C-alpha cells in the first residue's frame, strides 16, 4: 500500500486540492489557472515518481502569487502527511541536473524543521507565459514550510529563464524522490535524537 495523502485548503483567495502517492509511477492530473505552473508541477510528479492530482483555482486576475504559494504549501503538507512517522526514511535527497545551458542543485532534508535557501538569481518583472518568474522561490519556500523540510536550491549556470526555472523544479523532484525512499536497514527514524518532528 502506498504512502498517500489528500489535503485541501480554501480561502477567499484560493481553493487548492491535492492528492498524492509517494510510491507512485509519476502519473499526474494537474489543473491550475497558470499553464506554466501546471507544467512545473507535472515535472514534480513525473521525475519524483509521485502520483499526483491537483485542482487549484485562485485570484489570478490579481496575479499568480496566492495560487502559486498556496499550491506549494498544500503540496508540501501532503508530502509531510504521506510520510507518516518517517520510520525507515532515507531522509536526505539531492540532485544536480542540467537542462541545456542551465544547471541547478537541489538538496533537501526531511528533518521536520523548515528552512529555505534560494541561490537562483532571477530578474524581477520577467514572465514565462502568464507566470511571473519571481514566483519560483515563493513556491519553493511554501513547499519547504508545508513539508517541514530544509530545502536549498542553487544555480550553477544558465541564461534562459525557462530552462533555469524548469530544471529547478526537476531537481526538486529528483531530490524528493531520493529523500522519501524507505531504507530497510534503518530502524526507526533516521535521527540520533529519535525524532524528526522539530
Give the chain's domain count: 1
Task: Provide the CATH number for the domain around residue 90.
Answer: 3.30.230.40
Q: Does any domain span residue 190?
A: no
Burial classification of residue 84, based on how many CB atoms lie within 10 Å of its CB (0-12 exposed, 13-18 middle, 19 or more buried): exposed
pLDDT for the residue 194: 55
Largest CA distance in the chain: 51
Q: Does any domain span residue 44?
A: yes
Domain span at residue 75 reads: 4-179
pLDDT for the residue 192: 47
pLDDT for the residue 120: 98
Q: Does any domain span residue 91?
A: yes
Neighbouring residues of 190: CB distance < 8 A, sequence distance ≥ 6: 86, 88, 89, 90, 91, 183, 196
Q: Does any domain span residue 194?
A: no
Q: Does any domain span residue 193?
A: no
CB atoms near residue 15 (< 10 Å): 15
pTM here is: 0.93
Tens digit of pLDDT at every position of the chain (198 positions): 469 999 999 999 999 999 999 999 999 999 999 999 999 999 999 999 999 999 999 999 989 999 999 999 999 999 999 999 888 899 999 999 999 999 999 999 999 999 999 999 999 999 999 999 999 999 999 999 999 999 999 999 999 999 999 999 999 999 999 999 998 877 766 554 555 566
Amino acid at each position: 500500500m502506498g504512502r498517500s495523502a489528500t489535503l485541501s485548503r480554501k480561502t477567499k483567495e484560493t481553493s487548492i486540492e491535492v492528492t498524492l502517492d509517494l510510491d507512485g509511477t509519476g502519473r499526474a492530473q494537474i489543473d491550475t489557472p497558470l499553464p506554466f505552473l501546471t507544467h512545473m508541477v507535472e515535472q514534480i510528479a513525473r521525475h519524483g515518481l509521485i502520483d499526483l492530482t491537483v485542482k487549484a483555482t485562485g485570484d489570478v486576475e490579481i496575479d499568480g502569487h496566492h495560487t502559486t504559494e498556496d499550491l506549494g504549501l498544500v503540496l508540501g503538507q501532503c508530502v509531510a502527511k504521506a510520510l507518516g512517522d518517517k520510520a525507515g526514511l532515507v531522509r536526505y535527497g539531492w540532485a544536480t541536473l542540467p537542462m541545456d545551458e542551465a544547471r541547478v542543485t537541489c538538496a533537501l532534508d526531511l528533518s521536520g524543521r523548515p528552512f529555505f535557501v534560494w541561490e537562483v538569481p532571477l530578474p524581477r518583472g520577467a514572465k514565462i507565459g502568464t507566470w511571473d518568474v519571481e514566483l519560483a522561490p515563493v513556491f519553493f519556500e511554501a513547499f519547504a514550510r508545508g513539508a517541514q523540510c530544509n530545502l536549498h536550491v542553487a544555480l550553477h549556470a544558465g541564461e534562459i529563464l525557462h530552462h533555469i526555472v524548469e530544471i529547478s523544479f526537476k531537481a526538486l523532484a529528483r531530490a524528493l524522490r531520493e529523500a522519501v525512499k524507505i531504507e530497510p536497514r534503518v530502524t526507526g527514524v533516521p535521527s540520533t535524537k529519535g525524532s524528526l518532528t522539530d
